[in-house]
Amino acid sequence: MPTAVIVSSPRTFEDESGAIIADDEGMADVKTLALNVRRLLHILRVLIAHLAAHLAARHLARWPRLLRRAKLARLPGPVRLRRLFEDAGGGFIKFGQILALQSDLLPLEYCNELFNLLDRLAPFPFADVERVVRNELGRTPAEIFDRFEVEPLSAASIGQVHVAELAARRPTSSSPGTSAWSCSPWPSSGASG
């Protein structure tokens, strides 16, 4: 029987090695600080790139050949704003979703473009899905499930849903063969069944 597997987005505070695991609490604090600084630097890079694209779009309009080379600068303002939220990650996507509903604060064309953040987000790569599941559950999806769809059923700002099949011989909930696993990159969370 198919199972819904919810995998949290790697667009969060996780690094390539996975969740923060340390024997010493002081070491965990250092790793947390390093991850926070890394996340802050990522956000700053995204903001600077999008600000440069905005300024370039205004000034390069006189030079079409240069404008063609600046991909982000060629995008219209509403699309650039949506891309800014997507590139910055989960919490910023949520903020963009809230702004989409605020037609009293933003022009209508911006709200219409931000509506794409509600239901048209690109899924993250399957390699990230495998990494998050391995970090949370200690094994890859192929080792846990008999069948695990590579293509997600849906994608959202903080995660995506994959269809998987779990054999009845390995039930994870009170109903054999059915389960919803919530996999999160944060160390305090885990699988629930």
pLDDT beyond 60 at 177 = no
pLDDT of residue 13: 43
- What pLDDT, on the 0 to 100 scale, is given for residue 36? 85
Q: How far apart are CA 115 and CA 177, in angstroms?
A: 36
Whether the CB-CB separation of 189 and 14 falls below 8 Å is answered with: no
Q: Residues 6 or more apart from 19 whose CB is under 8 A from it?
A: 135, 136, 185, 186, 187
Separation of alpha carbons 134 and 132, rounded Å = 5
pTM of the model as a whole:
0.62
Residue-wise pLDDT for 107-144, tens only, equals 999 999 999 998 788 888 888 888 888 888 888 888 88
Q: List pLDDT tens digits, range 45-92.
A: 999 988 888 887 777 666 666 666 667 777 888 999 999 999 888 789
pLDDT at 171 exceeding the cut of 50: no
Q: Strands 2-8 and 180-183: what pairing?
A: parallel
State the average pLDDT over residues 92-114: 93
Residue 99 is predicted with a pLDDT of 94
Residue 167, pLDDT above cutoff 70: no
> Is residue 180 within 8 Å of 193, Cβ to Cβ?
yes
Domain ranges (residues) in the chain: 2-20+123-183, 25-119
pLDDT of residue 168: 59
pLDDT computed for residue 69 by the predictor: 66
Q: What is the mean pLDDT of the chain?
A: 74
